[in-house]
Chains A and B, each alone.
Chain A
Amino acid sequence: MSKDNKHTEENNALMANGHKASPKEKDSFISFIYNKREGTFLGRNGKSWVQIIVFYIIYYIFLGAFWLGCLAIFLSTIDKNLPRYYGKGTIIGANPGVGYQPWLKNNPESTLIKFNINDNTTYADYVGVLENYTMKYENETTTKLTKLCSGSESNSDIVKDGKLKEEGLKPCRFKLDVFKASGCSLENDFGFPDGKPCVILSLNRLIDWKPEDFADDVIPKEIAKRYKKGSIGFNCDGTYGPDKEYIGKIEYIPEAGIDGRFYPYAKMDNYHQPIAMVKFHNLPRNRVVLVECRAYAGNIEQDIETRQGLVHFELLVEDYEVSTPKTNGS
């Protein structure tokens, strides 16, 4: 065997390496999207696309129909007057939250009630909301479907297991007289022009919930003086130290809070949601006050974390002189 030859060969071959880079075929993205030569779009030709589309349409129609059917059956098992889950142990629970008015629907994120006593345009919206809210209590068509309750009469009489005992029973009527008497009505624009705004407080409706009384020895001191058995008491104060200082006199209308006879709630056409009002008599001017209102009953727990049993909002009463061009504008 000739060894000379062999090793020179090897070296040649080693040298030849590295110069052999042949141009590689490149998958171009454009040719993938539309390949003219093969008439394919996104890698498939027309017939294939029609097939695939037809296949999927049929598939989706069957799939959709089946599951919509399923869903329809499931949903039809749900009582339209009684939710499947209510009360203790469910998500919504048995501890009501507190709501307030006036709250502007067009600016839902804001809980600030801000107005200028010298400019009626700044509080017109608030007054409008309150007016709207209270109107249903005096609306002829709805009041007709309620009854005046007195004595021991209450909604408990007509509700059983979270449902109206029978169709057509009338719930108790809620009357606004007490608010009118305390200067919280449309007649005085709910106190806004005087800088003494009225704010409505209410409890979130919970099915099958009614307030329980405090035992005599555990009545919270905040409401102890005003507390009346069978009612839900309210107490408002500044949220933080400085707010507490500035908040001034607060009037509770009615004093004892919401009368318990309007509970429990059940799905019905003319339920009169009971409310209470608070009137802020001497709020500071041009200064934001953070307010916290808590609801009190034997079965209401207040929890800042979950915002149960209390509500926060802010008040800002201004008294700047209104310059003419501004008012002209509106």
Chain B
Amino acid sequence: RKRMTKIRSDRRVRSSTFVNLHSIDLGGEFVTPQEDSSATPSESLMDKLNDQMMESVMISDSPNNSEEDDVAPMDSFLDGVEEEEAATEASDDKEKESEIGQNTTEIKFPLEEQEPGGSMEKGYEDTKAQANTQEQVITVVSPQGDEESPCEFNSGEQEAKGTSPKDEPVPVCTIFSHGNQPKSLVPDGFQPTLIKSPSFSMGSGGGGSEAVTPSKLTAPLVCQPSPSLSKFFTDNGQVNPASDFFDSFTVPSNFISVSNPNAEIPPGPSPATIDHTPERQLSSTSSSISTPGGPLDSAAAAATQPQPFNQLQAVFSGSDDPFATALSLSEVDRRHDAWLPSEETRKVLISVATQQYSPSFAETNKLTMPGLKFDNLQGDAVKDLMLRFLGEPAAMKRQVLTANSVEQSFTGLKRLISSKNWRAAVDLTGRLLTAHGQGYGKAGQPTTHTTDSLQLWFVRLALLTKLNLFQNAELECEPFGNLDHPDLYYEYYPSVYPGRRGSVVPFSMRLLHAELPQYLAKPQEALDRLHNLKTVCLAILENLEKGLAEDGSMITLTQENRQVSLNLWRSRLSRVMYSMANCLLLMKDYVLAVETYHSIIQYEPQQRVQLLSGIGRIFLQIGDVKTAERYFQDVEKACQMTGSQPGHTTCVLMNRAFVSLSQNNYTEAHASFAEVLKVDPKNPVANNNAAVCLLYLGRLKESLGQLEGLVQQDPALYLHESVLFNLTTMYELESSRSTQKKQALLEAVACREGDSFNAQCLKLV
């Protein structure tokens, strides 16, 4: 126990300000050997100099060993721990064990009741202080204990590594095995949560380290390119003749071309595709022109035929005059496709339009040449778990749609998406893109782009993102560059899309492309891209307000059209702002995040209540309960102004509950959630949150019963990963039979959920 004080002022040089330098270091008895090694060697000279000005106050534990007789030697306990834990298998043990890091101990926590003892000790220290002026220099130079935070990080990462063997080479079915990565602390679907939520990372060393390096987490998820790529053409012959596929692919695109009144021929796969697609496609392309019926398999025809018909009808419904419809469609096209290319790209596009430049001679570095980067996404984590825990007969009962079991078309794709079979849907996009000549290994080869092909890419990338396969998405996104190559604009294809202008890349894809880096620990890059989007949106809005067309050209728009366009671009702008705010939240830049969320209110006034509540919750997450309450008061005012809407009552009650929760008043919080349920008995959030409160009140059985009941009664709402995670956590706490109960949940999930279900929330592995 050292305490040192030294005066660094020369008595003779006495100015109006004295600088006293103290360094107090208490609690030396808890210094562990590890601590010495963790002292920073990196302290620069400047730091040292600066530090000399400051006094390090150690907050240390007080020497309150009053209950000596009850104190067992720590060592014997440690031994005990080892013995006992070998016998018991509570997961908590393990987690707690793994938490043990090397941490320093110079902090003093003055116990109030021990004040008298403290003053005695002080006298002792005072005398010591004078005796030890020499040593003081040492303590100032290396401020002990500063190194704890890096230390925590390390232990957190070790923990993650120790429990999740993610670094192991992943076997064949690469992407999918991600679903099986068993011992990760974080269930699959919770990964984004961890990355994002400040609270998760704060709660845990593991979370913290993940927040810093999400890429590490996702790294093993990258798919190894597999040579079995053209599986579709070989293996699936009987089930799905390739011709079906092409027909179905080209037929709907035929339909889409209808929406483009300027297109003379159905675009289908554009001429260039023919070069590198099998002969069959040629025939199928022609068949699509002459409508289904050519070399079609009858089954395929049955599947595909009604579809273009329906959609054609849909397109023309509401108007008897096809010409008028076509006009309004071109209006819609212009509005939605509008984009402002970079100056360089714009020049290329102009020269294409003025026929000074032939696309065929374009420099390849300015072209977009995407291709699939992986294959074989197929898989079903739920089924795998069933095989493992419930046996083969049970697993065989699981029926989910696969890429093979739906039409090889947009319709099939939509079916897969809506049935939450996103893995299969990604597979299907792969097949459709392969048919378009942008399949596996085609990256870097010249190709052409159509509305359809880019829509397929968008869906594929969006699904990969939804599946948390960010690395894969990034990999496939890479050939698109910054989405500004000339061949991504309609003007580049004057013969295929005569007269059509703007971006072939849908706005949603631009947004996704901008958001993607934030999930890969590159939020700054995401923010840069989002700012670019914002700039373009603002420029387009400015053009519209000036009476010009979206892209600044001198086209006269009707008042009505202009208004529609303004609304569209305002909503796009607000969507970009949302993404920016979300990204800032991930970056934990709460000041800017709150500011940005707040600025969205002007674009989306109808979301005021939700936005203000959201900001309040951000403050609660930081711990600033008072400011949160202020925002919640604003919410209540906003609710009063708009009159009573049921959603608003819920919102106000919910906010109250969160404040109570933050004041550690779980009883009150539970009461507020219960009140929400009086208004809206089916509210899943209130139900779940009420159950969570019960647990904190020590009412495990009740809480469990409530959640279990909800999942049984209304699986559609409650088979949600957050609810299931809570439920399985409580199972683990409740009894030694948690595995059986989790298996029951697995069965419930198997009946309802698609292949995109995040099975890790069941915590079975």
Partners in one complex: no
Query: Residues of A with Cβ closer than 8 Å to B?
Result: none
